[in-house]
Amino acid sequence: MSTATGTEPDARRGARQALGLILIGSTGIQLSSAFAAGLFDSLGPLPVSSLRMAIAAIVLCALFRPALRGRTRGQWISIVVYGMAMAAMNLCLYSAIDRIPLGVAVTLEFLGPCAVAFLASRRVREGLCALAAFIGVLLISGPGGYFDAAGYAFGLGAAAFFALYTVFAERVGKDDTGLSGLALSVAVAALVSAPLGIGAVSRVDGRQWMVLAGVAVVGVAVPYAVDTIAARLSSARVVGTLFSIDPVMGSLIGWLVLGEHIGWTSALGILIVACAGAAVVWLSAPHHPDVPQLATDRAESLRA
């Protein structure tokens, strides 16, 4: 009895601390995306994503000094696939942000981990949550909402790669006690996307390099570190549910920083998708213990 009593306050405290950390991580990611969008006109979204990833890889590899030896073939496959999914997810997301509001793009991307959790569960209530998320997307894009075909295609592409990313994030996270696997995966992502950024290097001025360095640290290194700590302080299910903050935070940052205004139907749709996604992750956990690991993860290993 005393053990249960002692653990419950610890769990609540861990959840509160996780909430604070996830808020920091989400704010960093959405702010970095907003400031990176300011470089799209001069450099283009794909070079910005590529150069940002290269700087993040240098920072993370310098911090964690990952060993190249002593890893199995399976571990290297997971690291490489994780990095490739990471690169594709970021490239699609930045291409979406170039065409549609930040909050809408992030909401579409959030459908990826929701789909992973939903596909791993067969119960009616998860199906109802998925239906609610679909209704939310219709509200975002329907009459009075916001729709751009290319923007939606890139947003849904980001969601697909985010789903793949979540699966391999869990695998890479289990193989390392620290963040060395993440550092290697970010390096792979930087190499994969490098051809899209090399041509823009000569056009980047000093101020733009500072912005790129800032968004690399604030949008990749810091969020992924605090998300990992949050997962250790609480549970994967709690952290996965807290990631529903992202679409709302993206909308708020888009409004405050970029001056993006979306209609009330789109705002309602974003809120519905966020709540439905949180419910899918939370409800799928009790009978499917592996799902939270898959559906969380910027948190368990890292969401670059």
Do 292 and 285 contact (CB within 8 A), yes or no?
yes
Looking at the chain, the whole-number percentage of residues with pLDDT higher than 70 is 73
Instruction: Indicate if the alpha-carbon torsion angle 205, 208, 210, 215 is positive or negative.
Output: negative
pLDDT digits (tens, 9 = 90+) for 159-196: 999 888 877 776 776 666 567 888 899 999 999 999 99
Report which of residues 303 and 183 the model is more confident about.
183
Do 118 and 285 contact (CB within 8 A), yes or no?
no
With b for 16 or more beta-carbon neighbours within 10 A and e for fewer, the 38-51 pattern comes to ebbeebbbbbbbbb
Mean pLDDT over each residue of the chain, to the nearest integer? 79
148: nearest Cα among 260, 232, 42: 260
On the question of pLDDT at 120 being above 60, the answer is yes
pLDDT at 288: 44
133: nearest Cα among 117, 111, 148: 111
Do 100 and 194 contact (CB within 8 A), yes or no?
no
On the question of pLDDT at 237 being above 60, the answer is no
Do 17 and 234 contact (CB within 8 A), yes or no?
yes
Cα separation values, 59 from 72, 87, 179, 221, Å: 25, 17, 12, 8
pLDDT digits (tens, 9 = 90+) for 251-270: 888 888 888 877 788 788 88
Torsion angle of C-alpha atoms 135, 91, 244, 266, degrees rounded to 10: -40
Q: Which amino acid is at 227?
A: D
Provide CB contacts within 8 A for 132, sequence distance 6+: 272, 275, 276, 279
pLDDT digits (tens, 9 = 90+) for 66-76: 988 888 888 89
Cα separation, 156 vs 161, in Å, equals 9
With b for 16 or more beta-carbon neighbours within 10 A and e for fewer, the 59-91 pattern comes to bbbeebebeeeebeeebeebbbbbbbbbbbbbb
Would you kindly state where each structural domain of the chain is located, as residue ranges? 19-295
Per-residue DSSP letter, 200? G
Is 0.85 topped by the overall pTM? no
Place of tokens 């990611």: 29
Estimate the share of the chain in helix, then strand, then coil, as percent rounded to the nearest 5.
80, 0, 20
pLDDT digits (tens, 9 = 90+) for 203-222: 999 999 999 999 999 988 88
